[in-house]
Amino acid sequence: MSYVPVSRRTLRRHRESERSTRRLVAALSVAAAAAWLLSVTLSTAVHVDTYVHHVAVVLHVLSMVVAFGAVILVDWHGFLWLIGRRDLAETIRLDGAATPLIWGGLAGMLATGVFLNPHLNNPMTDLKLAAVLVLSLNGIMLIPLMRRLARLTPDASFEALAVGQRVHLLLCLVISQLCWWTAIVIGFINAEF
């Protein structure tokens, strides 16, 4: 075990930062679940004509492309960092630039989903909706880890992370990809049939 001299003031700031991050994650998780529930609930009450439905489908797909495209780019860049081909600073900077696109795309998907007349009695639709909720919560659960990564040296490697941090990062990556691909595939299958 190594000793790094740290003042009490620095320790207190770090603890306060950790507490504020936990509060932020809790608040964002509640907000994401509420937005998802509102979207699903409104989708059962709102019935639109064919033209509005088609516009909603186009906007829904565009929102999905923006969000998923940004996720793929960040995940790919993260993978390159994992194998030592990129610096951590580059990956964190890209994540910061892509985050508004990801959350904006998800918000667009929830907003336009209200007008898609989903068949909530179809188990595949329920699975898709559950995947969207899980991927939203999964993204929120990455916030504490990304804040910790941002405090590391710009050239820190994946191996420099604690085992728990590596597991957290890889688990979030797998959950993200699994949920995104599940939602996309089911969405296109439902659109065809």
Q: Quick: pLDDT tens for 115-147.
A: 998 989 999 999 999 999 999 999 999 999 999
Torsion of CA 106, 133, 68, 128, to 10 degrees: -120
d(CA 57, CA 63): 10
The verdict on residue 3 lying in a domain is no
The verdict on residue 86 lying in a domain is yes
What is the pTM assigned to this prediction?
0.88
Task: Tell me: pLDDT of 54 over 90.
Answer: yes
Task: Tell me: pLDDT of 69 over 90.
Answer: yes
d(CA 121, CA 175): 25
Task: Tell me: pLDDT of 11 over 70.
Answer: no
d(CA 140, CA 144): 8
What is the domain count for the chain? Answer: 1
Model confidence at 6, pLDDT cuts 50, 70, 90, reads: very low
Name the token pair of 45: 């009450």
End-to-end alpha-carbon separation of the chain, Å? 60
Give the contacts of 171 (CB within 8 A, at least 6 positions apart). none
The verdict on residue 75 lying in a domain is yes
The verdict on residue 173 lying in a domain is yes
Segments forming the whole domain that contains residue 146: 8-192
The verdict on residue 104 lying in a domain is yes
Higher pLDDT, 171 or 2: 171
pLDDT given at position 190: 87
The verdict on residue 73 lying in a domain is yes
The verdict on residue 40 lying in a domain is yes
The verdict on residue 131 lying in a domain is yes
CB 118 within 8 A of CB 129: yes
